[in-house]
Amino acid sequence: MSKTYMCEPDIIAANENVMPDLNNDLVMAKNFLKQQCAATGDTLYDHLVDVVHKIISQKPPDVVDSFEQYSWQVKQEKFRPNFDLLNDIYLSPPQLAIVRRVDEMFRLVASKSQRLEDLGEEEQELDLEEESFKPRIADLIDHNYYFREGGYGLPDSECYAVYIALNMLAIKEPVATVRFFGKIFGTKANYYVAEVDLTIEELDRRIREFEMRDMPGEGEGLEEDKAQELEEQKEMVGEGEGKEEKPKEPVPPKLPEIPVSTFQPPPPIPVERPGQGVNKKVFYVCSQPGEPWICLPDVTPDQIRVARLTVRCMTGDLDAEVSWNTLIEFESLGNGYYQ
C-alpha cells in the first residue's frame, strides 16, 4: 500500500478549509497555556487560576490597577513555604490586651509626673497647697521586699505593675491615702485589693447620702397614730351594741390558755455610717493591673454575721450570684460578701 505525503503548504491549506470546532479550539488553547516553564516548572494556566482566585476572594476595589501586584504576590507565595493556611487573618495574642492596659496605665502616670516637672518655679510655689493634699501612696516596692524575705511577697514585675495601678487609683479617685491590702486568689480570676481613705469632701458627700437614705419620711408616724385611734374607737363602739339576753346553757369548763412565747428579737444593730467602725476604710478591687478599680459597698452588721458563718471560694467575678441558706441578702451579688 502506497503512502501519500503532503507538503507543509498543502497541510496549511487543508486546515484552513476545515470548519472551526469550538471544543477543539478550547483544548488547543488550554494545551498552549499549560506549557511548563523550563526554569520554574510553572504554567501560565495555573498562574492565572491562582491570580483570579485571589482577586475573587479579596475583592479589591480597583482590580485593573492592582492586577500586576496580585500576580507578583502569587509568584512570591509559590516560592515561600506556607506553614499557616490562615496567613491572611491576624489573630492577636491574648497577652496583647493586658499589654495595652498596662501601657495606658504607665502613660497616665508618666504624663502626670511630666506635668509636674514642666511647671516653673513660681508655679510650683503657688502649687504648694495642692501638693499638701496630694494622696499618700504606701511604698509597695519597699514593703514587698520584706514580705518576700518571709516568703509571701509578689514577683518584682507584678509588684511594680500593682504599684503603678495604685498610682492610677490615686489620680482617678478622690482618695487621701492608698495602701495595698493584698491579693486574693479566685477560681476564674484573682483580686488585687487596695485600702484607701477618702478625702474630706468625698466623705462628707457619702455621709449626706447615708443620712438622706436612712431618714424616715415626714408624716409616717402621724398616720400610724391616727390608724390606731380609729381602731380603738371602733372597738369601744362595738362593745355597747346589741346586748340581748340569751337562754342560759351549761357553760363548759374553761381550758387553760395555750402558752404564747414572749420572746422578742433583739433590736437590729444600726448600720455604721461611712468613715466609722467597719466602714472607716474603703476598699477598691481589680482583677488585673490596668483595669478600672471597683469600689466595694459599705457593709451592715447582719452581712458580717452571715459572712462569718459562710465558707465560699472566690470566683473573681463581682457580679456572680451568691446562694444563701439564710434570709440575709447581699444585693444578689458577690461584692457585698467580698467586702
Averaged pLDDT for residues 163-169? 90
Q: How far apart are CA 118 and CA 111, in angstroms?
A: 10
What are 112-121's pLDDT values in tens digits?
666 656 555 5
Q: How far apart are CA 48 and CA 33, in angstroms?
A: 10
Q: What percent of the chain has pLDDT over 70?
A: 68
Do the beta carbons of residue 180 and residue 194 sit within 8 Å?
yes
Would you place residue 245 in the very low, low, confident or very high pLDDT band (cuts 50, 70, 90)? low
Which CA distances in Å does 330 have to 18, 187, 194, 229, 319? 95, 20, 21, 39, 11
Which CA distances in Å does 242 have to 45, 232, 238, 249? 116, 19, 9, 20
This prediction has a pTM of 0.57
Q: Is 191 helix (H, G, I), strand (E, B) or coil?
A: strand
pLDDT on residue 338: 56
pLDDT on residue 324: 53
* Cell numbers that stand for 33 in this block: 497555556
What are 250-283's pLDDT values in tens digits?
778 888 888 888 888 888 888 888 988 889 999 9
Q: How far apart are CA 190 and CA 183, in angstroms?
A: 7
pLDDT on residue 199: 92
Residue 306 pLDDT greater than 60, yes or no: yes
**Residues with Cβ < 8 Å from 208, sequence gap 6 or more?**
none
What are 322-337's pLDDT values in tens digits?
655 444 444 434 555 5
* Cell numbers that stand for 26 in this block: 478550547
Residue 191 pLDDT greater than 70, yes or no: yes
Mean pLDDT across the chain: 76
Which of 161-165, 166-170, 287-291, 314-318 is predicted with the least confidence, judged by mean pLDDT? 314-318
